[in-house]
Chain A
Amino acid sequence: QVTLKESGPGILQPSQTLSLTCTLSGFSLSTYGMGVGWIRQPSGKGLEWLANIWWYDDEYYNPSLKNRLTISKDTSSNQAFLKITNVDAADTATYYCARLRRVSHYFDYWGQGVMVTVSS
């Protein structure tokens, strides 16, 4: 059974760095063709794709936030990570991780999301 679960700080202050973790189960990011993406959704608004990482370590970022994003993975713990630097109120959102497969680029399994609030 494929599951993904996000975790994060809940609340942080402007200018800090947001660190998110996605814990994977039922598949491995060391397996050929597997990838994980991060997507966010401000309350009451739509979905915004942020970044992907693939099994062979290739990374892709949304150009609108590229300079602030770093995606990474740890295959030994079967986790993926996202860091966003210099956060502000506009980064307040629910953050999701989701699985992709190389054969296509849709997200076939999602986590339930973690809410992050940026506030002083």
Chain B
Amino acid sequence: DVQMTQSPYNLAASPGESVSINCKASKSISKYLAWYQQKPGKANKLLIYDGSTLQSGIPSRFSGSRSGTDFTLTIRSLEPEDFGLYYCQQHNEYPFTFGSGTKLEIK
């Protein structure tokens, strides 16, 4: 199975700041990484797929990048609604695997 190592576990930032969340795959997954946002009482939201493609309807302050097996989700100019949990998922091969999650909190 592909292990996804996600960091940091916790992240505190203020509205208007920029943050980055990282995921490292244990082997090559090509570009096939997705990022999701999770908030209580709401359906999980797909933000980015194929490493850097923005899902329709997602604000452009979200972006994804890749360097080899290292992937980064960057959120520029944080808005209050961006706080929550974020997960990466490799969608290159079965079994699909997720990162352990990053909790983005208001500072």
- Chain B residues, Cβ within 8 Å of A37: 96
Count A-side interface residues using an 8 Å CB cutoff: 22
Q: Does A27 contact B (CB under 8 A)?
A: no
A62 to B50, CA, bound (A): 22
Cβ contact of B96, chosen from A46, A49, A110, A111, cutoff 8 A? A49
In Å, the complex CA distance between A46 and B105 comes to: 17
B44 at interface by CB-CB < 8 Å: yes
Quick one: which of A3-40 are within 8 Å of B by CB?
4, 37
Residues from chain A with Cβ under 8 Å of B97 in the complex: 49
Is B89 an interface residue, CB under 8 A from the partner?
yes
- CB contacts between A and B, total, < 8 Å: 58
Over the window 87-98 of chain B, the binary record of Cβ atoms lying under 8 Å from chain A Cβ atoms (1 yes, 0 no) is 101011011111
Contact A109 B43 (CB under 8 A): yes
Chain B contact patch, size range: 20 to 34
A107 and B94: CB pair below 8 A? no
Given contacts A46-B98, A46-B101, A49-B98, contact A112 B91 (CB under 8 A): no
- In the complex, the chain A residue whose C-beta lies closest to that of B50 is A104
- Which of B41, B92, B94: most chain A Cβ within 10 A? B94
In this complex, which of B34, B43, B89 has the most chain A Cβ atoms within 10 angstroms of its Cβ?
Answer: B43
What string of 1s and 0s marks CB contacts (under 8 Å) between B43-54 and chain A?
A: 111100110000
- Contact status B34-A106, CB under 8 Å: yes
- Footprint of A on B, CB under 8 Å? 1, 32, 34, 36, 41-46, 49-50, 55, 87, 89, 91-92, 94-101
